[in-house]
């Protein structure tokens, strides 16, 4: 099946959270996501999604291909989404392999962007009478990968590509992608969490005569093979005397869920979950919680996409607390308000809504984003 709309919506929401000024330019894409039809299908008019990628080598150079259909322009490798592509990142990985011959297992995600696109570009495509295609738009999702081995031999696909070239970042031909790469901190290099979509694609589509590339990102601390590290999140389910639940309005420029309502929440550092919750409550809202009056009431096991780290989302109820909720981290949350849990606003974070509904129904567990 092609990438789900939920997956695409999540990528767009996260991207606009980082680049809110691009919201008007991405208006056609947002409209397409809310319109009937398969937005990743090549036949969808007046526009559809494509995927491309910047592959960065150890010298900081970016791979370009001379694209035949564009009249010989030097572009990032990429193309249309196929029905078997589970995610947009998987589509980008496949296109790199098909157009340049670089095997998927020779790639790893960038720590600067992880599973999210570095750039989303909307550009017009001229009509192609030979293929029966009218003029339309491409909504191009552009991802970033690092080359794992020191170098990689490229084998251009002659039907679409007539050459390859590695260029410095300041010579990337796409102006918008160039600006995103120059502004990013790429010093961290590859993403240290295992890039499952890349290895899964490699296993399903092994390149002919390709030497296996060792995985440099498997745990080395004795973790059993095949283990995937999870992020642990803690959330405060807090109700007032009228049964209303406390939610915060995320800042429009927040890296996550801008303009959405969310519980007071944070990630576990090297600490137990209850200590993490107590710390976050004071840091974010000035609330003091009593460790002996905190109960675990729900767990959401979530996965935003097959390439993102899975998450264990723990929801705790505080039976007592002191203080009045106030904004202490305005770059993340601009307002705290109490809401009727039975009629939450439409802009409530989806897994937060799911958890609150489950808590009210006394269900201890739910999951989201997994395919069965």
Q: What is the pLDDT of residues 44-82, one digit of tens each?
A: 999 999 999 999 999 999 999 999 988 899 999 999 999
Using CA atoms, how far apart are residues 163 and 297, in angstroms rounded to an integer?
58
CA within 13 Å, CB half, 194: 17
Whether cis (ω within 30° of 0) applies to the bond prior to 201 is no
pLDDT value at 222 more than 60: no
In the predicted model, what is the mean pLDDT of the chain?
86
231-368, CATH topology level: Nucleoside Triphosphate Pyrophosphohydrolase (3.90.79)
Half-sphere exposure for 69 (CA within 13 Å, toward CB): 13
Domain ranges of the chain: 5-204, 231-368
Residues near 220 by Cβ (< 8 Å), separated by ≥ 6? none
CB of 233 within 8 A of CB of 262? Answer: no
With contact defined as beta carbons under 8 Å apart, do 241 and 320 qualify? Answer: no
pLDDT for position 111: 80
Where residue 211 falls among pLDDT bands split at 50, 70, 90? very low
Reported as a pLDDT band with limits 50, 70 and 90, residue 1 is low
Q: Which fold has domain 5-204?
A: Nucleoside Triphosphate Pyrophosphohydrolase (3.90.79)
């Amino acid at each position: 099946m092609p990438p789900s709309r939920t997956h695409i919506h999540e990528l767009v929401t996260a991207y606009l959270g980082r680049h809110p000024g691009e919201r008007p330019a991405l208006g056609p894409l947002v409209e397409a996501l809310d319109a009937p039809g398969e937005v990743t299908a090549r036949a969808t008019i007046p526009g559809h999604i494509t995927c491309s990628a910047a592959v960065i080598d150890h010298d900081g150079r970016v791979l370009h291909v001379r694209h035949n259909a564009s009249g010989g322009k030097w572009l990032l490798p990429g193309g249309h989404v196929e029905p078997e592509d589970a995610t947009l990142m998987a589509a980008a990985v496949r296109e790199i392999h098909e157009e340049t011959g670089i095997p998927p297992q020779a790639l790893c995600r960038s720590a600067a962007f992880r599973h999210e696109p570095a750039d989303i570009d909307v550009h017009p495509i001229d009509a192609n009478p030979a293929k029966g295609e009218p003029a339309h738009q491409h909504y191009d999702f552009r991802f970033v990968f690092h080359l794992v081995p020191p170098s990689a031999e490229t084998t251009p696909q002659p039907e679409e590509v007539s050459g390859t070239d590695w260029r410095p970042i300041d010579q990337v031909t796409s102006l918008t992608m160039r600006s995103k790469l120059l502004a990013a901190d790429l010093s961290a290099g590859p993403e240290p969490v295992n890039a499952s979509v890349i290895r899964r694609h490699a296993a399903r589509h092994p390149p002919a005569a390709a030497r296996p590339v060792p995985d440099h990102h498997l745990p080395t601390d004795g973790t059993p093979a095949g283990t995937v590290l999870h992020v642990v999140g803690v959330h405060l389910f807090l109700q007032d005397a009228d049964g209303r639940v406390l939610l915060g309005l995320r800042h429009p420029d927040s890296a996550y869920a801008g303009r959405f309502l969310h519980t007071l929440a944070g990630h576990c550092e090297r600490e137990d979950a209850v200590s993490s919750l107590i710390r976050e409550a004071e840091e974010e809202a000035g609330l003091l919680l009593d460790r002996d009056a905190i109960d675990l009431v729900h767990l959401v096991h979530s996965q935003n996409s097959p390439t993102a780290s899975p998450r264990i989302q723990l929801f705790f109820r505080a039976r007592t607390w002191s203080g009045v909720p106030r904004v202490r981290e305005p770059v993340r949350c601009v307002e705290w308000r109490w809401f009727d849990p039975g009629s939450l606003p439409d802009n409530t974070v989806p897994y937060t809504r799911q958890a609150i509904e489950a808590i009210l129904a006394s269900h201890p567990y739910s999951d989201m984003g997994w395919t069965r």
